[in-house]
């Protein structure tokens, strides 16, 4: 995933909006990704806790690792039962062999690969794994393809699953895809798009034009459906790398 890594720390200024408008992950994906309770896991690049809450709900002990203090503050408010660590993926605050799993939700592309992998190998117990999850937009309808055009990154363009691969050093890699539909209002979709790092960096006139366009597409579809929401098709991509 070829993205500008300088965008990684732009989210803190919109931490409250990120928390309110970003979707979580389907239960089937989290069940596939996470170890069974009891277990001790780290949610690295945890943001405001979209994955953290789902892990806590499954009875796991969760350490949330997030470098942005504004994002971490929102997570700690929402999930005080999680350990909160302001730290990076290349300097994880855990003893050797402490964790059953290290999980990263929609953030692995922001992390330095080699340094992160080395730290993951250090902190995992034997048989533990690194787990990744991404919500991938996969448009089905013509109006969903119109929505793709409002995203500067054009995520989902072509309607095919992206080739998400990383050069893990040995071990075992397993992957799984889990389709799900995001039932969303026009206002919610607009506010979610506003938390996109590429949108956040646009000049104000272009930013507002893209947000208006996305909201208008959803509003038109909802009016046609006589429904307050419309279903935007996604698949959750999951990966487990078990170290050798």
Looking at residue 162, what is its pLDDT? Answer: 87
Structure tokens at 221: 């579809």
- For the entire predicted model, the pTM comes to 0.92
Looking at residue 237, what is its pLDDT? Answer: 97
CATH number of 5-242: 3.40.50.150
Mean pLDDT of successive 10-residue stretches along the chain, which has 244 residues = 47 85 96 96 97 98 96 97 97 98 95 96 97 96 96 88 91 97 97 93 96 98 98 97 90
Looking at residue 11, what is its pLDDT? Answer: 66
Go through 95-111 and write b for each residue having 16 or more CB atoms within 10 A of its CB, e for each that does not. eeebbbbbbbbbbbbbb
Pairwise CA distance, residues 65 & 87, whole Å: 6
């Amino acid at each position: 995933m070829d993205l500008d890594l300088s965008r990684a720390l732009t989210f803190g200024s919109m931490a409250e909006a990120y928390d309110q408008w970003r979707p979580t992950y389907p239960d089937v994906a989290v069940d596939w990704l996470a170890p069974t309770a009891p277990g001790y896991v780290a949610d690295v690049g945890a943001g405001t806790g979209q994955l953290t809450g789902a892990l806590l709900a499954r009875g796991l002990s969760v350490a949330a690792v997030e470098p942005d203090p504004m994002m971490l503050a929102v997570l700690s408010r929402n999930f005080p039962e999680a350990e909160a660590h302001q730290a990076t993926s290349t300097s994880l605050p855990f003893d050797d062999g402490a964790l059953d799993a290290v999980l990263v939700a929609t953030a692995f592309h922001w992390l330095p690969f080699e340094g992160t992998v080395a730290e993951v190998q250090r902190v995992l117990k034997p048989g533990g794994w690194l787990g990744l999850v991404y919500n991938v937009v996969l448009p089905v309808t013509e109006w969903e393809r119109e929505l793709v055009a409002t995203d500067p990154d054009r995520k989902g363009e072509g309607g095919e699953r992206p080739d998400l691969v990383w050069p893990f050093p040995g071990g075992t890699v397993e992957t799984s895809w889990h389709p799900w539909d995001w039932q969303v209002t026009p206002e919610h979709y607009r506010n979610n798009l506003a938390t996109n790092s590429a949108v956040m960096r646009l000049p104000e006139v272009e930013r507002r034009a893209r947000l208006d366009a996305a909201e208008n597409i959803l509003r038109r579809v909802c009016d046609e459906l006589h429904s307050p929401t419309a279903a935007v098709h996604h698949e959750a991509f999951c990966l487990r790398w078990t170290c050798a």
